């Protein structure tokens, strides 16, 4: 037990807590032949140098005896990674950023950048970037997952409920991201057990180092304790800026990424989880069905509206990004021509506007305020 505590708490702290625990659990082993409270010879011999440098061992032992529950919690966290707390530095950052340990979280994944972002809700309801972690491994290439066994990590918008958390994972800790979602199922895409997990090994998952997944798991656990019902995972091939989109305009998944870009932009504008619906086998973002109609993933989309503030901001951004995309696309064409390469694109790849969203919806008549990042 002392070995475990030395690893967890470091030299003197682990030693002192260990002495207290051993004394409490079996005081007879500590008594000499004359009944004096001397440390048994084998323990004393191992730690004699440390004991000679401190005179507070007995006091620490007494504190540990009187606070056995705290010692037990420390031991539990050693043997149970799912019970580990949020690191102190991260808690300090949350305090500075007006966040609480119990407030909701959101994850964003970027394959090419090889990072996972953890966002957390502030007291004003908007989310702020709390931490960015390198992804240890993800398998496959940029682009969505299609079928079981293709070893491809998913892209899209997913939800994680409490029951999807696995504290007993063979990969240290894990949570299922929720693939296939309604969009995936509408395209008959298959796959099971697509996770974010530890152990730094991937076969279609997003794998982190054990220490990083422990922190992410702890943040999710505390958010669930605080009342969050599910948290959103947004998985992208890369940051969907107009410049990046122009660079990858020749990619076979360009249409799919154009569709994802609207959700990406909505989050950038609102700093809130994106409302997801699926109809006509495509994503719809932050839409409200008119006249009480419902969404069906494989049926025609109902008439929809969008919050007036978001609609205005997104419309302006879409126009701006279309201009940037066109300019950078022209630069890419010129580079290809200078290198003697063909750069012929189908007409649908000459625009960022996704199929089905050529005409933006009308503003929602009901007052539903969505504060934007630019608001004070």
Q: Which residues are catalytic?
A: 197, 205
Q: How far apart are CA 259 and CA 181, in angstroms?
A: 15
pLDDT digits (tens, 9 = 90+) for 163-194: 999 999 999 999 999 999 999 999 999 999 99
Does position 63 have pLDDT exceeding 70, yes or no?
no
Q: How far apart are CA 47 and CA 167, in angstroms?
A: 35
Lowest-pLDDT choice from 40-44, 109-113, 224-228, 236-240: 40-44
The 137-138 sheet, strands edge to edge: 137-138, 206-207, 195-197, 174-176, 165-166
Helix (H) or strand (E) holding 138: strand 137-138
Q: How far apart are CA 205 and CA 294, in angstroms?
A: 32
So where are the chain's domains?
2-79, 84-238, 240-376
CATH entry 2.40.440.10 includes domain 84-238: yes
SS3 category, 106 = strand
Residue listed under structure tokens 């007995």: 58
Q: pLDDT at position 78, please?
A: 56
Does position 372 have pLDDT exceeding 70, yes or no?
no
Q: What is the CA radius of gyration of the chain?
A: 27
Q: pLDDT at position 373, please?
A: 53
Q: Closest Cα partner for 63 from 129, 29, 16?
A: 16
Residue listed under structure tokens 């978001």: 310
CB within 8 Å of 49: residues ≥ 6 apart? none
Nearest-5° Cα angle at 274, 269 to 279 = 125
């Amino acid at each position: 037990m002392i070995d475990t505590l030395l690893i967890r708490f470091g030299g003197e702290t682990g030693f002192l807590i260990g002495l207290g625990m051993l004394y409490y659990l079996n005081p007879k082993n500590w008594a000499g032949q004359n009944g004096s409270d001397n440390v048994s010879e084998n323990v004393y011999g191992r730690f004699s140098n440390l004991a000679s440098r401190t005179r507070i061992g007995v006091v620490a032992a007494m504190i540990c005896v009187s606070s056995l529950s705290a010692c037990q919690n420390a031991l539990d966290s050693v043997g149970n990674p799912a019970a580990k707390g949020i690191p102190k530095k991260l808690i300090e950052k949350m305090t500075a950023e007006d966040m609480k340990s119990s407030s909701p979280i959101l994850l964003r994944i970027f394959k090419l950048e090889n990072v996972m972002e953890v966002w957390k809700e502030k007291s004003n309801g908007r989310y702020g970037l709390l931490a960015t972690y390198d992804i240890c491994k993800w398998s496959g290439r940029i682009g969505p997952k299609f079928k079981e066994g293709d070893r491809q990590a998913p892209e899209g918008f997913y939800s994680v409920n409490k029951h999807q958390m696995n504290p007993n994972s063979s990969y240290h800790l894990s949570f299922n991201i929720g693939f296939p979602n309604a969009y995936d199922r509408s395209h008959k895409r298959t796959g099971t057990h697509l996770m974010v997990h530890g152990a730094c090994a991937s076969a279609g998952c997003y794998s982190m180092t054990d220490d990083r997944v422990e922190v992410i798991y702890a943040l999710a656990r505390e958010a669930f304790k605080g009342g969050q019902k599910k948290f959103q995972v947004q998985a992208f091939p890369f940051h969907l800026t107009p410049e990046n989109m122009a660079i990858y305009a020749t990619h076979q998944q360009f249409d799919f990424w154009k569709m994802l870009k609207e959700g990406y932009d909505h989050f950038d504008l609102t700093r809130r989880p994106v409302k997801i619906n699926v109809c006509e086998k495509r994503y719809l973002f932050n839409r409200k069905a008119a006249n009480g109609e419902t969404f069906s993933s494989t049926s025609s989309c109902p008439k929809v509206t969008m919050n007036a503030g978001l609609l205005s901001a997104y419309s302006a951004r879409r126009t701006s990004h279309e201009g940037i995309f066109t300019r950078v696309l022209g630069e890419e064409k010129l580079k290809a021509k200078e290198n003697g390469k063909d750069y012929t694109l189908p007409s649908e790849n000459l625009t960022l506007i996704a199929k089905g969203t050529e005409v933006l919806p009308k503003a929602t008549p009901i007052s539903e305020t969505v504060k934007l990042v630019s608001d004070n």
